[in-house]
Amino acid sequence: MITRDEIRKIPELHKSIRRGMDHLEYLSEKATAISSSIGDGERVQSSADNKAGRYIDAAVDLSRDIEKERMELLELQRKALAFIETIDDPLHKKILRYRYIWCYSWEDVADLVGYQQRYIQRLEYEILQELE
């Protein structure tokens, strides 16, 4: 069974993965730009190679971190889905699926179910009281 802290960690992990992917793209662009602009001089080339290598190393490390977060996110979502399936109320199920499986913002969840955001967040709080 999933805990309250675990289920609430899902949106944070999702955001962290998205930020990491954005940064990974930045690192790849920098490494590519440096590699394609390597000059004729050996000293310049060596310096550029080192700089490109640092970006590549950072990208590899970041890729590993992102993959760890993805695995953790998938496991937490699997546990969240098992919890959601135990809920009888269709509105409650929708709220939790949109927020913790699809990782929508509270504003989007409210729009999708047709209620005000405060009401949706209050319902979510009450639903999650069942968890430790």
pLDDT at 112 over 90: yes
pTM across the whole model: 0.85
Of all residues in the chain, what percent carry a pLDDT higher than 90?
A: 80
Average the pLDDT over 112-124 and give the result.
Answer: 97
Q: In this structure, what token pair is assigned to residue 44?
A: 């310049």
Compute the distance between CA of residue 51 and CA of residue 92 in angstroms, rounded to an integer: 51
- Characterize 31-42 residue by residue with b for buried, 16 or more Cβ atoms within 10 angstroms of its Cβ, and e for exposed: beebeeeeeeee
Compute the distance between CA of residue 15 and CA of residue 38 in angstroms, rounded to an integer: 35
| Sequence-separated (6 or more) residues with CB below 8 Å from residue 56 | 27, 31
Q: What angle do CA 18, 101, 14 make, to 5 degrees?
A: 15
Compute the distance between CA of residue 113 and CA of residue 92 in angstroms, rounded to an integer: 10
pLDDT at 66 over 50: yes
| Sequence-separated (6 or more) residues with CB below 8 Å from residue 95 | 109, 113, 120, 123, 124, 127
Runs of H (alpha helix) within the chain: 4-36, 42-84, 90-96, 106-113, 117-128
pLDDT of residue 40: 46
pLDDT tens digits for 13-58? 999 999 999 999 999 998 888 877 655 444 445 666 688 889 999 9
pLDDT of residue 22: 97
